[in-house]
Amino acid sequence: MIKVFTTRKDFDHYRSTLTTQAIGLVPTMGNLHKGHISLIEKAAEENDVTIVTIFVNPKQFGPNEDFDKYPRTLDEDLARISAIALLINAKKDLVVFAPRSEEIIYPKGYSTMISVGPMTQKFEGSVRPTHFDGVTTVVYQLISITKAHTAYFGQKDVQQCLIIKKMIKDLEIPINIYIMPIVRNSEGLALSSRNQYLSDSERVEAMVLPHTLQKVEKLIRTKQDYKTFVVETLKADNKWDYLEVLDSSNFETTTDLTTELVIVAAYRAGATRLLDNILVPMNLGK
């Protein structure tokens, strides 16, 4: 059975009962899909207590973004988490913290924002300038409230992962960060809560994104000229916000010291922006 808390008082009381247990945190905005489920399962495997937070964080949405229409499906989410609870060791706790109001995370008068700096303004940040400050601010709050030992994130939002890791390092927050691989549908499209905005024809169009990334990966792995292919691809279709090959450790241009590349892209299918990426180790064939 899962435990569900919607107020700070109840959650804090529960948290105060935990003493020596290993605590895992899976921060989510709900509308759980198999990508989230993989994070929850991993956390439940590795920890005595797994806390899944469900909070659609207003601070990470820009003024013209989809905050109001972002899918809120708490009942279905709780059913999915309950199904996981049946499969894990009965001695372990699977807990949901779903604050029933914004004030539970940002009490009246709250004004602090956490900003990691220049890396929040590139790629996703160039299109969504306040987004990452909203993400780091809520993740900081969720870590403070839950006092978890390990937090789990999905690699689909690879820039988010990098920025959160930088915040953890700079602020010396005592928590481990674990990144889980991207989960894809049977056709290869990375799972995302925003996929449900796609019409049938946009769903077909969206496949350009994983197919292009696979093509770039193949060119890199076979040591062919991927740079020209990237330039030509961007020129041929204005639905790309970006398509780049970067050093995965810092989102900068690759150097001789780069040990892993990330092929990273954002593509617009209709009004929906879709993100995807592939990690490629650099020691190929060495």
Contact criterion met (CB below 8 Å) for 266 and 273: yes
| Distance in angstroms (rounded) separating the CA atoms of residues 245 and 91 | 45
Q: How far is the CB of 191 from ligand PAF (least distance, A)?
A: 12
Q: How far is the CB of 160 from ligand PAF (least distance, A)?
A: 6
Q: How far is the CB of 142 from ligand PAF (least distance, A)?
A: 8
Closest to ligand PAF by CB, 29 vs 84, is: 29
CB atoms within 10 A of CB 226: 20
Give CA separation, 28 vs 25, 138, 215, in Å: 10, 11, 31
Contact criterion met (CB below 8 Å) for 97 and 11: yes
Q: Both tokens of residue 263?
A: 């092929």
Q: How far is the CB of 60 from ligand PAF (least distance, A)?
A: 6
Strands (E), the chain: 3-5, 23-28, 49-54, 93-97, 150-154, 176-180, 240-247, 260-269, 272-281
Nearest to 241 by CA among 135, 121, 117, 126: 126
Closest to ligand PAF by CB, 139 vs 261, is: 139
Give CA separation, 16 vs 54, 225, 272, in Å: 20, 57, 42
Categorise residue 251: left if φ over 0, alpha if ψ from -120 to 50, beta otherwise: left
Closest to ligand PAF by CB, 132 vs 267, is: 132
Q: How far is the CB of 163 from ligand PAF (least distance, A)?
A: 10
Q: Which amino acid is at 109?
A: G
Closest to ligand PAF by CB, 86 vs 171, is: 171
Contact criterion met (CB below 8 Å) for 264 and 159: yes
Catalytic residue among 13, 33, 36, 131: 36
Residues interacting with ligand PAF, by CB under 6 A?
A: 27-29, 57, 60, 135, 138-139, 157, 160
Verify whether residue 13 is a known catalytic residue. no
Catalytic residues: 36
